[in-house]
């Protein structure tokens, strides 16, 4: 049995230390996913806290179905983000690219390029619908498999592939507009 499974079993029996370890493993990924979806640091922190509070209170209800525990957490996170958008007014995402992305030493011009590129990708990402955003983030940021994404989003694998295909087409169109040329990637690459 994997270490993660043991931790989950212990957490299901009420072992807070075990759940604490699961928190340490998965919280950064969930935070990142939520941050890229909501676009604001404070909102991302609130939603992430809500996700883990919810997970800790309902961990007994988790049933292992051959997918990592993270799929279950991503599902809670997706629902939490939807709830967040339901309860708060949509606002324009003007938050700048997080500092940690620019932490590597670089020349001023390179840094400027980095900021520009990241900002462009983020803007393009924000123009996708919520499911498309989730699929792109899970697939290309977190490297989850199509099966895992399907479990997390409660959709079939076929539906996830269709969403991914449409999302990449849209991203390509958005980025082409910004850069004024065809971006290197086509949906065939994926």
Partner 1 sequence: MWKQQLKRFRDITPDATWSAKTKRAVLSSRIPETLVPRVSISIFSFPRLLWIGVPVVVIMFLFTSIYFFASPSQGAISSLDTDKLNTEFNSLSLNVHLQSVSYKDSANSAMASAIQEITDTGAKHLSPFLLESEIEILQLDTNPPPKEKSIDQLLNEVIF
| Residues 146-185: x where in contact with partner 1 by CB under 8 A, - otherwise, as a string | -------------------------x---x-------xxx
Contact 156, 150 (CB under 8 A): yes
Q: Identify the residue among 5, 6, 53, 186 touching partner 1 (CB under 8 A).
A: 53
CA distances from 160 to 126, 140, 144, 146 (A): 18, 13, 12, 7
- Regarding 74 and contact with partner 1 (CB under 8 A), the answer is no
Return d(Cα 168, Cα 159) in angstroms, integer.
Answer: 14
Contact 6, 27 (CB under 8 A): no
| Residues 87-126: x where in contact with partner 1 by CB under 8 A, - otherwise, as a string | -----------x-xx-x----------x--xx-xx--x--
CB of 167 to partner 1, least distance (A): 11
CB of 104 to partner 1, least distance (A): 9
CA distances from 48 to 32, 55, 129, 165, 171 (A): 9, 10, 21, 28, 26
Q: Identify the residue among 136, 149, 160, 163 touching partner 1 (CB under 8 A).
A: 136
- Regarding 28 and contact with partner 1 (CB under 8 A), the answer is yes
CB of 125 to partner 1, least distance (A): 8
Give Rg (Cα) of the chain: 18
Closest by CA to 130, choosing from 58, 76, 81, is 81
CA distances from 183 to 123, 162, 174 (A): 15, 21, 10
For binding to partner 1 (CB under 8 A), which residues are involved? 13-16, 19-20, 23-24, 27-28, 31-32, 35-36, 44-45, 48-49, 52-53, 56-57, 98, 100-101, 103, 114, 117-118, 120-121, 124, 136-137, 140-142, 171, 175, 183-185
């Amino acid at each position: 049995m994997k270490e993660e499974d043991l931790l989950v079993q212990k957490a299901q029996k009420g072992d807070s230390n075990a759940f604490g370890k699961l928190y340490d493993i998965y919280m950064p990924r969930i935070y990142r996913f939520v941050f890229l979806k909501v676009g604001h640091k404070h909102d991302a922190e609130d939603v992430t806290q809500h996700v883990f509070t919810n997970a800790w209170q309902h961990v007994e209800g988790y049933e292992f179905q051959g997918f990592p525990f993270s799929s279950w957490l991503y599902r809670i996170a997706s629902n939490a983000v939807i709830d967040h958008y339901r309860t708060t007014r949509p606002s324009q995402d003007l938050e700048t690219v997080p500092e940690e992305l620019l932490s590597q030493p670089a020349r001023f011009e390179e840094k400027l390029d980095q900021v520009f590129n990241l900002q462009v990708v983020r803007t393009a990402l924000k123009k996708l619908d919520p499911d498309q955003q989730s699929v792109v983030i899970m697939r290309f940021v977190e490297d989850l498999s199509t099966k895992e994404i399907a479990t997390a989003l409660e959709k079939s694998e076929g539906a996830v592939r269709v969403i991914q295909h449409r999302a990449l087409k849209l991203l390509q169109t958005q980025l082409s507009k910004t850069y004024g040329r065809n971006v290197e990637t086509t949906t065939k690459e994926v």
